[in-house]
C-alpha cells in the first residue's frame, strides 16, 4: 500500500498565538522571549525580515526593536499550550491517525485520501484551523514523514496565502530535494551535515542517491532510514498517541536575578520540587533517586569555583510523596550551598523511575504509604481545580516579588485558561 503523510506546522506559533488576541499586530513584527526574558525564541515573518536572529539576547536588541516598533512578549506557555490543544482538536476532525510531534507540529496519516483530493483536503484543513483558532498553518504532504517535512519547508516559502505543498510524482520530489539543503533534512544532525558537505553532498537529492552501504557504514541505521524515506519508502510510522513515560523528570528555572542566600534558593527549589513531583504522579511513576543541581554565574569574572554542582541521593523506597522529596531536596541543597557564591539557577531531577504498579513497597511503612498516596491525590485534585499555588508549603515562600521568580515583564494574559484574564470587550 502506498503511504501518505502530512506535516502540519503552525507558522511562528508563539507569535501567532499572541496575535489571535491582539489583531492589531497582524502584519507587524512580533517576537517572543525565552524564560526570564533572556533571548528571542520566536519571531513573526516581519521580525525575521528585520534581521532579528533566533536565540539573540534580548538586552542587545531592546533599543533596536523599540525603534522598529517590534511587539515583544514574554513566553506564555499556558496560553500556547491551550492554543496548541485547540489546533490539535481541529486536526483530529480530519483523521484520528495523528501524532502530535511538538507544541506546533503534527504528523497526520493521509494514506486514505485519493490522490486527486489531497490538495483540496490540505487547503480545507488549513482554512479551518485558521478560521476556528486564528492560527495560520502550513501543510506539507509526501509519501513518507521525511518527505512531508521537506514539503512543509517548501510550503512555508510559497506565497503566504497558499501554504500547502504536496509531493506525489517523481519529478516534483526530485525538484523539491534539489531545493533542500542536506542540513535541513529531518534527522540529519549538524555533524553529519558537515561531513556530507565535505564530501560534496550539499542537497537532499545528492544525499538520497548515495549508496545505501556507505550511508549505513558511516551514518548507522538511522542515516540509512532517512535515505530510504527520501527515496519514498516509509520507515518511520506515526508514533502511538500516548507519550512514553519519561525516564527522568526535571524541573529547573533560572532566577530572576543572582541569589546568595540559602533561604531564597530553598524557596525556589521547593517550588520546583513540588512541580516536579506533580509531573511524576501525573505519569503514574515513583522515583528511586533525586538529584539537585545548582549553577553559579558562569560569566562573572570572579567565579571562584565550579560553575555547576550537583548532588544525588537514593531514596530508601521509591516514592511519589512530595513531602518526602522536599526533605531530600533541601538536605542536598544544604550540602552544596556555599556562602558568598552568586547562584543563578537551581533544579531538581527525579530518576530511577518505576511505574506505580511495579513499586516495591517498603514493608515497614505500608500504612504510611497509603496515607501519603491519599494526601498526594487530594493535593493533585486541589491544584487541578484551583491552580498550582492553591496549596503550598511554607518553605516555598511567596513567589511574587521574590528574587528567584522568573522575570517576564512582557507577559500577555492567559486569555483562555483563567477567568480573571479573559479577553474584554465593550
List residues near other proteins by CB under 8 A: 23-24, 86-87, 89-90, 128, 131-134, 282, 284, 356, 374, 377, 380-382, 384-387, 390, 415-416, 418-420, 422-426
Minimum distance from residue 90 beta carbon to other proteins (Å): 5
Measured at the CA of 197, the angle between CA 196 and CA 200, to 5 degrees, comes to 95
* Closer residue to other proteins in complex, CB, 299/419: 419
Minimum distance from residue 381 beta carbon to other proteins (Å): 7
* Closer residue to other proteins in complex, CB, 240/425: 425
* Closer residue to other proteins in complex, CB, 20/326: 20
Minimum distance from residue 245 beta carbon to other proteins (Å): 13
Minimum distance from residue 27 beta carbon to other proteins (Å): 10
d(Cα 40, Cα 75) in Å, to the nearest integer? 10
Sign of CA dihedral 232, 240, 95, 122: negative
Secondary structure of 385-421 as H, E, C letters: HHCCCCCCCHHHCCCCCCCCCCCCCCCCCCCCCCHHH
Do residues 212 and 227 lie in contact, with contact meaning Cβ atoms separated by under 8 Å? yes
* Closer residue to other proteins in complex, CB, 23/340: 23
Minimum distance from residue 23 beta carbon to other proteins (Å): 4
Cell (9 digits) for 250: 526535571
Do residues 328 and 290 lie in contact, with contact meaning Cβ atoms separated by under 8 Å? yes
Sign of CA dihedral 246, 82, 325, 310: positive
* Closer residue to other proteins in complex, CB, 10/150: 10
* Closer residue to other proteins in complex, CB, 129/193: 129
* Closer residue to other proteins in complex, CB, 26/115: 26
- Please spell the DSSP secondary structure of 110-138, one letter per residue: -TTS-GGGHHHHHHHHHHHHHHHH---EE
Minimum distance from residue 418 beta carbon to other proteins (Å): 7
- Using DSSP bridges, classify how beta strands 5-10 and 105-109 pair: parallel, antiparallel or unpaired: antiparallel
d(Cα 247, Cα 402) in Å, to the nearest integer? 32
* Closer residue to other proteins in complex, CB, 63/357: 357
Minimum distance from residue 141 beta carbon to other proteins (Å): 22
Residue 256 CB-half CA count within 13 A = 13
Phi, psi (deg, nearest 5) at residue 248: -130, 150
- Please spell the DSSP secondary structure of 22-35, one letter per residue: -GGGTTS-EEEE-G
Minimum distance from residue 137 beta carbon to other proteins (Å): 14
Q: Quick count: other Cβ atoms within 10 Å of Cβ 419?
A: 6
Do residues 108 and 152 lie in contact, with contact meaning Cβ atoms separated by under 8 Å? no
Minimum distance from residue 196 beta carbon to other proteins (Å): 42
* Closer residue to other proteins in complex, CB, 128/231: 128
Helical packing angle, 77-92 and 13-20, nearest 10°: 90
Amino acid at each position: 500500500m502506498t503511504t501518505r503523510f502530512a506535516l502540519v506546522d503552525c507558522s511562528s506559533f508563539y507569535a501567532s498565538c499572541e496575535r489571535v488576541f491582539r489583531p492589531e499586530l497582524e502584519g507587524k513584527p512580533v517576537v517572543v522571549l525565552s524564560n526570564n526574558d533572556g533571548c528571542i525564541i520566536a519571531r513573526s515573518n516581519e521580525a525575521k525580515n528585520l534581521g532579528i536572529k533566533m536565540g539573540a539576547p534580548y538586552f542587545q536588541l531592546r533599543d533596536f526593536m523599540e525603534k522598529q516598533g517590534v511587539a515583544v512578549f514574554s513566553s506564555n506557555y499556558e496560553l500556547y499550550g491551550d492554543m496548541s490543544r485547540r489546533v490539535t482538536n481541529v486536526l483530529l476532525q480530519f483523521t484520528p491517525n495523528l501524532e502530535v510531534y511538538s507544541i506546533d507540529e503534527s504528523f497526520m496519516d493521509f494514506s486514505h485520501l485519493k490522490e486527486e483530493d489531497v490538495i483540496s483536503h490540505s487547503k480545507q484543513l488549513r482554512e479551518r484551523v485558521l478560521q476556528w483558532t486564528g492560527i495560520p498553518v502550513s501543510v506539507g504532504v509526501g509519501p513518507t514523514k521525511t518527505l512531508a517535512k521537506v514539503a512543509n519547508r517548501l510550503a512555508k516559502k510559497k506565497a503566504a496565502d497558499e501554504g500547502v505543498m504536496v509531493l506525489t510524482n517523481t519529478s516534483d520530489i526530485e525538484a523539491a530535494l534539489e531545493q533542500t539543503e542536506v542540513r535541513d533534512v529531518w534527522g540529519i544532525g549538524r555533524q553529519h551535515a558537515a561531513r556530507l558537505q565535505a564530501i560534496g553532498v550539499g542537497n537532499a537529492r545528492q544525499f538520497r542517491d548515495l549508496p545505501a552501504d556507505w550511508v549505513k557504514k558511516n551514518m548507522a541505521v538511522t542515516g540509512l532510514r532517512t535515505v530510504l524515506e527520501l527515496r519514498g519508502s516509509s520507515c518511520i510510522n506515526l508514533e502511538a498517541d500516548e507519550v512514553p513515560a519519561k525516564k527522568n523528570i526535571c524541573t529547573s528555572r533560572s532566577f530572576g536575578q543572582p541569589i546568595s542566600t540559602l533561604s531564597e534558593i530553598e524557596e525556589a527549589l521547593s517550588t520546583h520540587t513540588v512541580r516536579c513531583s506533580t509531573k511524576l504522579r501525573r505519569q503514574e511513576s515513583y522515583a528511586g533517586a533525586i538529584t539537585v543541581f545548582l549553577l553559579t554565574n558562569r560569566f562573572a569574572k570572579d567565579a571562584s569555583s565550579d560553575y555547576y554542582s550537583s548532588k544525588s541521593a537514593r531514596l530508601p523506597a521509591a516514592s511519589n510523596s512530595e513531602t518526602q522529596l522536599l526533605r531530600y531536596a533541601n538536605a542536598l541543597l544544604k550540602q552544596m550551598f556555599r556562602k558568598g557564591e552568586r547562584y543563578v539557577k537551581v533544579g531538581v531531577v527525579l530518576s530511577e523511575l518505576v511505574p506505580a504498579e511495579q513499586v516495591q513497597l517498603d514493608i515497614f511503612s505500608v500504612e504510611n504509604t497509603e496515607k501519603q498516596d491519599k494526601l498526594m491525590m487530594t493535593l493533585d485534585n486541589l491544584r487541578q481545580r484551583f491552580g498550582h499555588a492553591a496549596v503550598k508549603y511554607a518553605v516555598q515562600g511567596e513567589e511574587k516579588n521574590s528574587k528567584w521568580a522568573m522575570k517576564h515583564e512582557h507577559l500577555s494574559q492567559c486569555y483562555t485558561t483563567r477567568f480573571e484574564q479573559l479577553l474584554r470587550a465593550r
